[in-house]
Structure 1
Amino acid sequence: SGPQRGADLRFDLEISFEEAAFGVEKEINLYRDETCEHCHGDGAEPGSKVDTCPECHGSGYVRFTQNTMFGQMVNERPCSKCHGEGKIIDKPCKECRGKGTVKKNKRLKVKIPAGVDNGSRLRVSGEGEAGAKGGQSGDLYVYLYVKPHKFFERDGTTVLCEVPINIVQATLGDEVKVPTLDGQVTMKIPEGTQPGKVLRLKGKGIPSLRGGLRGDQLVRIKVVVPTKLNEKQKEALRSFGDISKDNISPEEKSFFNKVKNFFK
């Protein structure tokens, strides 16, 4: 019959990859129990009479004795006269009908810190359901879901992405535009870059949730082999192949030696 704490609430919120990385303030809409402003949570119409229950004397429960084969047993049950409230309201509040709380929509701003990840949970103290009989409100728990990004993936504070280049760029080296969370940057492709090589962009990752430096961005190189060539392009590649027969890389040489030894 005393003050009761309000229930906790859960709210699922979807945010973008960039919002998770850098933080954002979101406005959400809750439908929850709030303390009735008309009766201030008492459940009684202002000015009406509220008496202590004569049956339970304000405790909300009554005791009764029951005879059993083991002797007398004393039990307790909610008072039937006041329904466990401990008081008799002469005139219930017309707004909440004696409950002390009413359902309302509440718009609330939630600050999401930089560095949160998919599945992170934020606790907003006191923004849950209103308590009964003067009890404190519950808490609000916001569960975050990060939408997939078309360029980036995430591993902790590290951002991963894949950048396609052509054979000429991989062979001779080049400078290419690479997307990052801060916008496009120019990255140098070293001469002789192999497919699958990973290059690092320092400080272009996700900020640490605990504060401090940002992570890095790892760029995996994808060498795209052309599928449609004209005769002039094909002839140029054949010429290149002919003059490159004696220029075998150590990796190729090692492989062919292993094959030769295997068949021997």
Structure 2
Amino acid sequence: MDAAKGATKSVLYEAIATCKSCQGRGTKSGKKRDVCLACKGSGVRSLSVASGFRMQVTCDQCGGKGTRISPENRCPTCGGKGQVKERKVESVDIPAGAEDGMRIRIPKKGDDDSEGLPGDLIVRLRVTPHKTFIRQDSNVFVEAQVPFHTAILGGSVRVPSIDGDVELNVPAGSQPNQQMVMKSRGLRKIGTNYRGDQIVIFKVPLPK
């Protein structure tokens, strides 16, 4: 029903954030990074390959930065990485008509990159089945119990809908598993004013 009518949900997740203790520097207060001895500050190293050729690769000691942080100078909060994992809570607006597997993008609420710029949070929806309604695109199917005499003579029954119970006229001579369409009683199509239909399936108990 949250997917059908729309809702607001809270999402708890972990995201990579810039370390507040060192402001992303990775060093203790007043300390600086040292020049990487492996690449001598260039960020790349030369390797010999077959036939005497040499190629340059990113330095595996400093990750291409050209500098390193000695263990005694590393920020105790992030261990010199400049980033930490934080638990966050974000409110997500679920639009009416949301479908299972739908993705919602929330700008600037994801992981911080190495420059401290935040990415986006992508929320994927899991819509649980309903015990009464069966969804097919924007249409909704529901079974209605119709007494035997009502099916023969005609009358009315109350049937559930996503907006609440409604009265439905049953034509005389209605058959078991006969279907009736209730226009615009289904789910809203996202981004439009269009609503699908509700299809009612008559369940008529036959006398023994």
Fold match by TM threshold 0.5: yes
Instruction: Find the counterpart in structure 1 of residue 67 from structure 2.
Output: 87
Match of 2:3 in 1: 20
Cα deviation, residue 30, structure 1: 0.7
1-structure distance, mates of 2:91, 2:56: 45
CA RMSD of aligned residues (A): 2.2
1:44 to 27, 38, 43: 27
Amino acid in the other structure paired with 2:157: V
User: TM-score normalised to the size of structure 1?
Assistant: 0.71
Q: Distance in 1 between matches of 2:196 and 2:63?
A: 59
> Which residue matches 1:29?
12
CA shift for structure 1 position 211: 1.8
In 2, the alpha carbon distance for the partners of 1:81 and 1:198 equals 70
How big is each residue's C-alpha offset from its partner over 1:24-46, in whole Å with a ceiling of 9 and x where there is no partner? 11101112321101111121123
The 2-side partners of 1:158 and 1:88 are apart by 60
The letter for the 1-side match of 2:199 is: L
Alignment partner, residue 185 of structure 1: 166
List gaps (5 residues or longer) in structure 1.
1-17, 228-264
Aligned match of 1:4: none
1:76 pairs with 2:56:
yes
Given that 2:151 and 2:175 are in contact with CA atoms closer than 8 Å, whether structure 1 keeps it comes out as: yes
Distance 1:82 1:151, change over 3 A: closer
Paired residues for 1:153-168 under 5 Å: 153-168=134-149
2:46 aligned to which of 52, 63, 66: 63
- Aligned 1:1-264 pairs, distance under 5 A: 18-53=1-36, 56=39, 58-64=41-47, 66=48, 68=50, 70=51, 72-79=52-59, 82=62, 84-89=64-69, 91-132=73-114, 134=115, 136-227=117-208
Runs (5+) with no aligned partner, structure 2: none
Matched residues, number: 206
Residue 135 to residue 74, structure 1, CA distance change in 2 (3 Å): farther
Distance 1:77 1:160, change over 3 A: same
Flag the 1:141–1:80 CA change in 2: closer, same or farther, 3 A: closer
Q: How far apart, in 1, do the equivalents of 2:190 and 2:28 lie?
A: 49
What's the TM-score, normalizing by structure 2? 0.88
Asked which structure has the greater CA Rg, the reply is: 1
Letter matched to residue 111 of structure 1: D
* CA distances 1:99-155 after superposition (whole Å, capped 9, x unpaired): 0111221111111111111222223333332212x1533433222221111111011
Contact 2:49 2:55 in 1 (8 A): no
CA, structure 1 residues 199+83, in 2 after alignment: closer, same or farther (shift >3 Å)?
A: closer
